[in-house]
Amino acid sequence: MTKELLERPAAAGAPVATSFDPVGYFSSLGTGASIHVYQRNQRVFTQGESCEAIYFVRDGALKLTITSERTRRRATIAVLGPGDLIGETCLHKPDQYKATAHALSETTVVKIGRETMIRLLREQPELSEFFVKYLLTRHSRMQDDLVDQLFNSSEKRLARTLLLLAGYGEKTDTERVVYNISQETLAEIVGTTRSRVNVFMNKFRKLGFIEYNHGLHVRPSLMDFVHKSKS
């Protein structure tokens, strides 16, 4: 389902806020952007398709998977949620999407055309600042993911994945709920089997790190487990 956004004069750009609000900013864009709502398991774009737009996740979550051309094996490389951008590499040069994106739950995204995004980055300092900070954060997270895969146990990788999915950054006492995600998907992200994920999830539940109650509740105490546990 697609809802066109209110038209605004191209020269006016998007509204500028003193404190940049990416959700409000992208949701209020005019010409060159549109809002799309995807249902669970619906495909947003496919690996190999021409990369002509980037997507801002307003709510919900998307799973990114890649398929090997040689072996046809598929792997989940990321799960992205509210505030994330997808397809930003097409701003460098028109190319193809490197992965396939599917909605993990009902997900709302703002689709921004490549030329529109390039123009806005040139015209809007607040957007440019947000974009640079986002890319640096994303790069840092990718490095952490690589270290995680190389040196940490699958149990610790699962714990870190749950914290990332729950949106934990700085330490907080607030319990958070993870959207509906299967153990099969968690196993793909962590790089282990579904049965191992099931064992670890049961252990985390018994230790009070997580709870199933109208969703998966992830508690801050899981961060202490990640920090204290040894590979």
Q: Which residues of 204-226 are buried (b: 16+ CB within 10 A; e: fewer)?
A: beeeebbeeeeebbbbbebbebb
Q: Say what the pLDDT of residue 199 is.
A: 95
Q: Say what the pLDDT of residue 11 is.
A: 33
Q: Say what the pLDDT of residue 127 is.
A: 94
pLDDT (tens place) for every residue of the chain, 231 residues total: 444 333 333 333 444 444 789 999 999 998 899 999 999 889 999 999 999 899 999 988 898 999 988 888 888 888 888 889 998 888 887 688 989 999 988 899 999 999 999 999 999 999 999 999 999 988 887 787 777 777 778 998 899 888 877 877 544 556 677 767 888 888 888 888 999 999 999 999 999 999 988 788 899 899 888 877 644
Q: Say what the pLDDT of residue 33 is.
A: 94
What is the model's pTM? 0.73
DSSP for 110-175, please give it: EEEEHHHHHHHHHH-HHHHHHHHHHHHHHHHHHHHHHHHHHHS-HHHHHHHHHHHHTT--S--S--
